[in-house]
């Protein structure tokens, strides 16, 4: 075992010396290679981190949300729905929710007005998301005036600005009491926007949804798992767009790998001929060139991956943020939690390192099996 290790060490030493003799070429190749890995890894890490954030946000969402449809459009839940739902077996808890959207012409943004299930603000008071408060320049104790869709002006006092740690889900959020909400939107008494349900047995969520659809034909149950899949599909679609934008870089890398596989330069052929003339075997030449490909590939992979990690989790992925995060007037500020998935790293490694390393061996094998004299002359 020890002689084999010593032999590999000598091969690596010679490979490093050979790489140093063509320093400019190899450094250029390493820079292009690392840049490609950096771009692909940035998109992959950023997309995975956003999926984790979406999963964390949806983890506390209701198992089932029930909406009422009229002519295919979302309509208010009328009185009596809660009582009917309570009689369906498997439903553990049901609660009517009050929420709606309001367009503010001052900030030219949509707000989400919501009545919290517990600890609602007192009449005439509300709580704001940090992004909204920052956009309007508001702090606790200051007034906020909003004109309803009926034309009436409502003035509220800001009780609290919600913590910045919740900004991802509370950027455009306005929390207010039920009486203020119904007065502002002119909601009829006993009506709700939708109903949040919890199911006694999580394995029976789909069966309960089917029972709800049968008992209430004008209702549409929305499952938490369906919302997760929708968010995942949206992020996959945006990640695909970003990768499509990188198609030119991928094409350039493919051309580079093809050029590497198509043949060797005269100097490289002469070097292989000299090595074989002084006693190197074909296997030694292949192993030396394999180490060359692995050293360049591993170095480019590590440089690109570390650069992508810093770019995504310390600088917010500035290069790809508009594509993957989307756009909004009230855009939240949030820091992505570092996420490294083993399968994700293996996939990135396989599609960036393996093709280049394999491409290196093809022309080397062709050159290594010919006569040394012919190689030196060629």
pLDDT (tens, 9 = 90+) of the chain, 378 residues, equals 677 677 667 667 777 777 777 777 778 878 888 988 898 888 888 888 888 887 887 778 889 999 999 988 889 999 888 888 888 888 888 999 999 999 988 888 899 999 998 889 999 999 999 889 998 899 999 999 999 988 899 999 999 999 887 787 888 899 999 999 999 999 999 899 999 998 988 888 999 999 988 888 998 999 988 888 887 787 777 777 666 666 766 666 666 666 655 555 666 666 666 666 666 766 666 777 777 778 888 889 999 999 999 998 888 778 877 666 666 666 677 777 787 888 888 888 888 887 777 777 666 665 555 555 555 555
Q: What angle do CA 211, 214, 217 make, to 5 degrees?
A: 130
Q: Name the class of domain 99-186.
A: mainly beta
Instruction: Say whether 335 sits in a helix, a strand or coil.
Output: coil
Of 98, 50, 70, the C-alpha closest to 228 is 50
Report the C-alpha gap between 58 and 60 in whole angstroms: 5
What is the model's pLDDT at position 304? 93
The predicted model scores a pTM of 0.72
What is the model's pLDDT at position 184? 95
What is the model's pLDDT at position 99? 95
What is the model's pLDDT at position 325? 67
Of 338, 313, 349, the C-alpha closest to 37 is 349
Indicate where the chain has its CATH 2.40.40.20 domain(s).
99-186
What is the model's pLDDT at position 195? 93
Report the C-alpha gap between 134 and 345 in whole angstroms: 38
What is the model's pLDDT at position 72? 86
What is the model's pLDDT at position 220? 92
Three-state SS string across 25-83, please?
Answer: HHHHHHHHHHHHHHHHHHHHHHHHHHHHHHHHHHCCCCCEEEEEEECCEEECECCCHHH
What is the model's pLDDT at position 10? 67
What is the model's pLDDT at position 330? 64
């Amino acid at each position: 075992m020890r002689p084999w290790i010593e032999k590999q060490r000598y091969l690596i030493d010679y490979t490093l010396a050979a790489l140093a003799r063509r320093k400019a070429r190899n450094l250029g190749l390493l820079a292009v290679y690392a840049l490609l890995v950096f771009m692909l890894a940035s998109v992959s890490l950023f997309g995975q981190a956003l999926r984790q954030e979406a999963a964390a946000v949806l983890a506390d969402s209701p198992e089932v949300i029930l909406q009422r449809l009229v002519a295919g459009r979302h309509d208010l839940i009328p009185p009596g729905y809660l009582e009917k739902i309570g009689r369906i077996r498997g439903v553990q808890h049901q609660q009517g929710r009050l929420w709606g959207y309001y367009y503010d012409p001052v900030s030219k943004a949509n707000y989400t007005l919501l009545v919290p299930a517990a600890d609602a603000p007192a009449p005439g008071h509300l709580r704001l998301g940090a992004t909204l408060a920052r956009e309007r320049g508001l702090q606790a104790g200051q007034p906020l005036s909003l004109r309803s869709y009926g034309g009436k002006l409502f003035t509220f006092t800001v009780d609290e600005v919600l913590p910045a740690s919740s900004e991802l889900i509370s950027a455009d959020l306005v929390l207010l009491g039920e009486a203020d909400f119904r007065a502002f939107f002119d909601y009829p008494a006993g009506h709700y926007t939708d109903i949040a349900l919890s199911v006694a047995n999580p394995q029976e969520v789909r069966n309960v949804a089917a029972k709800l659809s049968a008992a209430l034909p004008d209702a549409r149950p929305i499952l938490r798992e369906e919302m997760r899949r929708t968010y995942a599909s949206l992020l996959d679609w945006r990640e695909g767009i970003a990768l499509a934008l990188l198609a030119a870089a991928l094409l350039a890398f493919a051309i580079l790998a093809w050029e590497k596989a198509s043949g060797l330069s005269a100097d490289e052929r002469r070097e292989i001929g000299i090595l074989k003339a002084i006693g190197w075997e074909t296997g030694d030449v292949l192993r030396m060139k394999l180490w060359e490909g692995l050293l360049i590939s591993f170095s480019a992979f590590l440089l690109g991956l570390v650069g992508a990690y810093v770019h995504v989790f310390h600088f917010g992925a500035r290069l790809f943020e508009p594509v993957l995060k989307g756009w909004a007037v009230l855009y939240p500020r949030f820091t992505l939690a570092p996420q490294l998935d083993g399968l994700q790293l293996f996939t990135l490694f396989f599609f960036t390192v393996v093709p280049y390393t394999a491409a290196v061996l093809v022309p080397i094998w062709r050159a290594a099996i010919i006569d040394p004299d012919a190689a030196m002359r060629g």
